[in-house]
A and B are shown apart, each in its own frame.
Chain A
């Protein structure tokens, strides 16, 4: 048997990987569209709410402490990093407003998304992956229940609806954390801090962050469920699916953040013109 040329072998490997990637991409969107098609049915039925509410508790309520903690530390550290420069420029009073805009429009939603992907996304993939390898998904189908409607749609909806709410908690704690360090550690003055916050921070900043969080939540829900449904057999397969879930969710959050950032900044410029923060 003739040995394959290294160039041919590399090209063949690349081709196979590309085809696999495209195939997964196509299957992911088909899976997502199918899961989304059940949303109206789930929202108007009592059974749908019975499935949704426990997921909201697990994905939302249980994630609140960790997301609040993350938000608080981010707010604190931003004051620590920015104080010296702003103080040297005699603009320390304005630091709170800059930090609040950063937290509300950028860091709050991104970090809430990352924490949600790590805490809830990994758990969703592990749960669905285990159900897959122990034939529970087949059992659902054999009993006439649609596993996507039964398992994916409620989890996707819970992620979609609760990511913005969790982001509010991250924003709130980020703002409070920043204020505590500004006041307690650096001895800043309270009145000018809030004056500049009121003057600079707009509802748009808060709204754009929540708008992004909505997309991040949806992406986390779909990626986690897709990986759980398509994981390889065995404990190793479930483990790999969980890792893959987190990595893909994380990259998607950053990519979505970039594109939504372009979109929202463009819209702001068109509607309100240029805004100076200093």
Chain B
């Protein structure tokens, strides 16, 4: 089922708790094909948890997760492999393998997912092209430990697109976290280019408003395990919803304000 009118990813009444804390509370979400959807919200509201449900890294306590119309939340790890070959994940901490060079890191998804005899020359050539694409030509033989935060993020993005064929979906977990505004801008532009060049569906979770506005076709705000807003970046910026307004303006929720005691 690859009907372009159907959502590529769908979550139905997904609930997830850790201990007594309910992180996702009957979430419904449909991700449109070929667009970039941003899920924003303050830290600890379950944005990353939601993202991990999409690729089967976490399973919901209740509810259903669909990819291309196929229910995936009940599939075992082996059955999830073909799905994961179509979805790339850019982790918040980049998750580059320290024991490998940059080139080996980028080539890893292709090496691991190739069947039969591996054509290393072809794979390394493709990986090198992906590194060129993110502006890291000549970084092939460096180790992740030798890179800056922005360079690591770009390697992680290169690894996300290094698939043959390219992925249908890229999930970005806090892509600009820990980066300075200029580096963040580089990453935002890269995310935009990925979508335009490969027609890839993007799901970005972030608490960075600049990133939200620059990369999002659609923006949702997660608050206390539920979505409290859904619209275009412009609609979100102009929203009257109190939680959204406070988040956009960078104001604390009334209950969060801490007064120093003597």
Binding site for B on A (CB under 8 A): 47, 130-131, 134-136, 138-139, 141-146, 150
Contacts and interface: CB of A to CB of B under 8 A. Distances in A.
A61 to B, nearest CB: 17
A278 B81 CA distance: 64
B85 to A, nearest CB: 5
Given A143-B109, A144-B84, A135 B77 contact: no
B147 interface: no
Contacts of A134: 93, 95
Interface in B80-128: 80-82, 84-85, 87-89, 91-93, 95-98, 108-109, 112-113, 118
A138 B57 contact: yes
B89 A142 contact: yes
Contact of A144 (B81, B91, B97): B81
B55 interface: yes
A144 B93 contact: no
Contacts of B77: 141, 146
A124 to B, nearest CB: 12
A136 B57 contact: no
A141 B85 contact: no
A150 B98 CA distance: 15
A47 B108 CA distance: 12
Given A135-B91, A135-B92, A142 B84 contact: yes
Nearest to A136: B95
B93 A142 contact: no
A139 B112 contact: no
A258 to B, nearest CB: 37
9 shortest interchain CB distances as A-B pairs: A139-B95, A142-B89, A144-B81, A135-B95, A144-B84, A145-B112, A143-B109, A135-B91, A136-B95
Contacts of B113: 143-144
12 contacts: A134-B95, A136-B95, A136-B96, A138-B52, A138-B89, A139-B95, A141-B57, A142-B87, A142-B88, A144-B80, A144-B113, A145-B112
Given A138-B57, A139-B89, A144 B95 contact: no
A141 B112 CA distance: 11
Given A143-B113, A144-B82, A144-B84, 12 more contacts: A135-B91, A135-B92, A138-B52, A138-B89, A139-B95, A139-B97, A142-B84, A142-B89, A143-B84, A143-B108, A143-B112, A144-B81
Nearest to A141: B57
B84 A138 contact: no
A144 B89 contact: no
A145 to B, nearest CB: 5
Contacts of A150: 112
A130 B93 CA distance: 12
Interface centre among A47, A135, A143 (most CB of B within 10 A): A143
B113 to A, nearest CB: 6
A143 B112 CA distance: 8
A142 B173 CA distance: 13
A138 B81 contact: no
A42 to B, nearest CB: 14
Interface centre among A131, A135, A144 (most CB of B within 10 A): A144
A50 to B, nearest CB: 10
A169 B96 CA distance: 37
Given A143-B109, A144-B113, A136 B97 contact: yes
Interface centre among A47, A131, A139 (most CB of B within 10 A): A139
B85 A144 contact: yes
Nearest to B105: A139
Contacts of B52: 138
Contacts of A135: 91-93, 95
A102 B95 CA distance: 48
Contacts of B82: 144
Contacts of A139: 89, 91, 95, 97
Contacts of B112: 143-145, 150
A34 to B, nearest CB: 10
A61 B109 CA distance: 30
Contacts of A131: 97-98
B77 to A, nearest CB: 7
